A and B are shown apart, each in its own frame.
Chain A
């Protein structure tokens, strides 16, 4: 059995610095949740299919279960806990509530970060492409219809802001 030393890693999550010491094999998802105490990011499959673990790395949506914490050293990570600013909900969060885009809530942070990342990187993304992007993540409760509705509603609002 390989015995590996822990490595010092600095994770900057939602602007806050977390200095942690982890094995190289610790995934970013686990580090965010367990070492940095941000449990809003969820783990649904741990093999990169469901997207519940989606966070933003330097603005790009990425599956945090497919990265190791050491790889994210010093990068700007955003998670669901950082979406609302100063108590004001992000348009996507508000839209998910208004459109009943969540039921159990387990997949929700992943969808929120996916949509945030895409809409920030490509504000003029076509509706067709936006809907296509939403097929990246799995949900078992909602049947997706209200998630799509919520994202469309928020996209419009984000564009007009």
Chain B
């Protein structure tokens, strides 16, 4: 289908963008960044924004820098930017590895990291990264600027706590300490599909033991989140097949899986077990 009609705005500065957004938001005005998620929904007329505020022309939003020990990602930073590690150390490698699982090459040249977060598809890889690593989201509007922790930012499938007049201006991720190991495993039906279940794990390996473990599960519930029950299993232990299997069990038991065409709850629950274990195996490899 062709999208429903809308008025198009192309501000050149963040200030202009949030001013316009403030005016048009009550009238279903939306931000257009990569468009790789928004435009398909418009093509089905499921989304019918009366206004689109195109932020692609705002140079300030192309930011990708390190500030105060965190990687700061501006709203116009494309998925493809992460193809080669953008920082030295585990975070850069982690983002590069995860990026390869996102959709397909042409989508990655347009789609944005921040856009994925704003879209909040439970099967989005970047959303899982944000939830697992503890991203901070900076939202700007005519009312000012505020920061939200990832846990407070995500609400449920396709919904966030961003106000309708807020622009998700940037996201920051903590640089991971050099002794961090990471593993990511995703199950999907075809190359490039959204994950039916995926796990992102990180831990620091100190004296042969895993400390500060993080296990994030995505694609299984309405929002990605860390599973503390599974993290507890790992804490202080040496990496190994048995403890990984136990962590998988714990994650599997802890989730309340959603159901859709690809997977019922039972199947998803079992997938969580598998993807958790395999992500851990990759981290240890």
Contacts and interface: CB of A to CB of B under 8 A. Distances in A.
Interface string A37-56: 00000000011100100100
Interface of B: 1-8, 10, 32, 35-36, 39-40, 42-44, 50, 52, 54, 56, 80, 100, 104-107, 109-110, 191-192
A67 B4 contact: no
A61 B105 contact: yes
A114 B109 CA distance: 12
Given A24-B52, A47-B44, A48-B39, A4 B107 contact: no
Contact of A25 (B5, B36, B107, B109): B5
B86 to A, nearest CB: 17
Instruction: Give the size range of A's interface with the partner.
Output: 20 to 34
Contact of B8 (A46, A70, A133, A136): A70
- With most chain A CB atoms within 10 A of its CB, the pick from B42, B56, B110, B192 is B110
B53 to A, nearest CB: 12
Nearest to A114: B106
Interface of A: 1-4, 7, 23-27, 30, 46-48, 51, 54, 60-63, 65-68, 70-71, 114, 117-118, 132-133, 135-137
Contact of B191 (A26, A47, A135): A135
A124 to B, nearest CB: 13
B105 A133 contact: yes
A136 B191 CA distance: 8
A65 B2 CA distance: 10
